[in-house]
Amino acid sequence: MKIHKEGRKILFFTLLGLLVVNLMLYYFNSAHLTFNRIFSGVSFIVFLLILQFFRSPYRNLLLHEDLVVAPADGKVVVIENVEEPEYFNDVRKQISIFMSPINVHITRNPVSGVVKYFKYHPGNYFVAWHPKSSTKNERTTVVVESLAGPQVLFRQIAGAMARRIVWYVTEGDEVNQGEEFGFIKFGSRVDIFVPVDTEVKVQLGQKTKGGQTVIAQLKTSSSGSFFG
């Protein structure tokens, strides 16, 4: 299993800390062997949970210029038309994907194109499904002018557990569909905003895989497709 670069330092120091604590227990608390063994078992489970969080599985990416693919693993929790006040200042169709702590937390470009806008917003840490999380939590906003023409806005949103958002894009970058644009540590969600005439391909409650699940199809006069 491949480990994502964002988790290597955390995993190293977590493993080191757990080893030190366990060795100290066995040395200074040798009379309580049962407790020490239970603590060792709990330490092992904790490390495995953190390890699976930072896994980076191989993905056979779906590439298609008029399709919008899921930017993250998770579950579709919002499909609705809303006013988007930060960039478009008009009504857009919002699709939101909630990422639980057991999901892969890599975030991927939903479309290929050029980054026209990027902004990081410090903020609060409401739970990710809270209505205010999209506008009040710590977040990043990325707008890509897709190869198909329409602009697509997507937003990493920190949650109650996720206290750090990492991004790899800036304005002017050319990005490829399915490639990583960031990482959210320990649970959160991603919002996607597309034109209201976009055809949604997912349903509420549906599970998604980043870079593979088609969530919408943009309206365009021409398109091409291939798999990679």
Q: Report, as an integer, the average pLDDT of 169-187.
A: 86
Q: Is residue 223 part of a domain?
A: no
Q: Is residue 132 part of a domain?
A: yes
Q: Report, as an integer, the average pLDDT of 97-120.
A: 90
76 and 95 share one domain: yes
Of 84-98, 129-143, 146-160, 169-183, least confident by mean pLDDT is 129-143
Looking up residue 160, the CATH number of its domain turns out to be 2.70.70.10
CA distances to 159, 178, 179 from 106, rounded to whole Å, are: 15, 10, 10
Predicted confidence at residue 77, as pLDDT, reads 92
82 and 39 share one domain: no
pTM: 0.77
Q: What is the pLDDT of residues 64-96, one digit of tens each?
A: 889 999 999 999 999 999 999 999 999 999 999
Q: Is residue 82 part of a domain?
A: yes
Q: What is the helix (H) or strand (E) element at residue 122, kind and residue range?
A: none
Q: Which residues are catalytic?
A: 188
Q: Is residue 224 part of a domain?
A: no
Structure tokens at 51: 């390890």
Q: Is residue 184 part of a domain?
A: yes
Domain count, the chain: 2
If one compares 113 and 52, the residue with the highest pLDDT of the two is 113
> How far apart are alpha carbons 110 and 183 in whole angstroms?
14
49 and 148 share one domain: no
Highest mean pLDDT pick, 52-66, 122-136, 179-193, 205-219 = 205-219
Which residues in 85-187 belong to E strands, given as ranges?
Answer: 90-99, 106-108, 113-121, 139-146, 151-158, 164-167, 174-175, 180-185
Mean pLDDT of the chain: 83
Q: Is residue 196 part of a domain?
A: yes
Domain that holds residue 29: 2-56
Q: Report the residue count for the chain.
A: 228
pLDDT band for position 133 (cuts 50, 70, 90): low
Of 47-51, 73-77, 188-192, least confident by mean pLDDT is 47-51
Is beta strand 106-108 parallel, antiparallel or unpaired with respect to 113-121? unpaired
Contact 90, 82 (CB under 8 A): no
pLDDT band for position 29 (cuts 50, 70, 90): confident
Of 70-79, 110-119, 145-154, 182-191, least confident by mean pLDDT is 182-191
Contacts of 16 by beta carbon, 8 Å cutoff, 6+ apart: none
